[in-house]
Amino acid sequence: MNAFQTAFLGFIQGMTEFLPVSSSGHLILIRRLLGISSDCLLFDILLHVGSLGAVVICLRRDIISLFRPPFKRLGLLALATLPAAVVGFFAGGWIDGIFGGGAWLWLTFAATGVLLLLTGVICKRGQSGRVGAKQAAAMGVMQAVALLPGLSRSGSTIFGGVLAGGDREEVTRFSFLMSVPVILGSALLGLLGSGDIVLTVGWWETACGMAAAFGSSLLTIKGMLRLARRANYKILAAYMFGVSLLSLALTLAGI
């Protein structure tokens, strides 16, 4: 891949990591459309690290507060992270083997669209509860389900949080905070689990991708926090149904 392609993939990854539209699914879809090899594990990990930098900057106060007594929020984050950590460790390879090729993206994209519509309906009830153990547990379960490519992590966790009675703004911020241990854990698991892992993309091209992921993540996090106040997910849901149809067409065409 050249620098333009990696920067484009980085932009897509950063944009879709925090919009409720699935970054992993979009990276697979874009590669299918452009005919780019999917053998880029370390490159994908480094793109997520670029997005992680944006989270640290935007939520630095939330992150610092985790380490202040009585450490309640840190405990909630651990509770919310546990399900995905267990599922990822024991079933990550199986999930990637079945869903990593993109043949089922049409289904998981459509499922994300349904979750977004349901989230909008639930938010109209006007929940005002803070994120507690109930909301963190529900978000953790949904984050584990969202290990399926095409099923949005942020969309799934926000749905779980508001379904459990959480305030949509609080839930959205906590969902973004949940991405920190997930990205770090995925990076460590990918690096330690593959002793022969190599960077199949040049370092300059990788740096361009990471920079693009960082920049687009900054913009998306701020935009999503504003969107959470309005709780209007209809446009994003319609978009997900559209890419679902596109994915189905590519699968039927053998692309």
Residue pLDDT, tens place only, 127-177 = 667 899 999 999 999 999 999 999 999 999 999 999 999 988 899 999 999
Alpha-carbon distance of 235 to 243, in angstroms, equals: 13
| pLDDT the model gives residue 11 | 95
Q: Express each pLDDT in 3-36 by its tens digit.
A: 999 999 999 999 998 889 999 899 889 988 888 7
For residues 228 and 154, is the Cβ–Cβ distance under 8 A?
Answer: no
**Could you tell me the two tokens for 173?**
């911020």
- Report the predicted TM-score, pTM, of the whole model to 2 decimal places: 0.90
Which residues are registered as beta bridge partners of 166? 129
Q: How far is CA 86 from CA 24, 82, 91, 167, in A?
A: 19, 6, 8, 27
HSE (side-chain half, CA atoms, 13 Å) at 128? 0
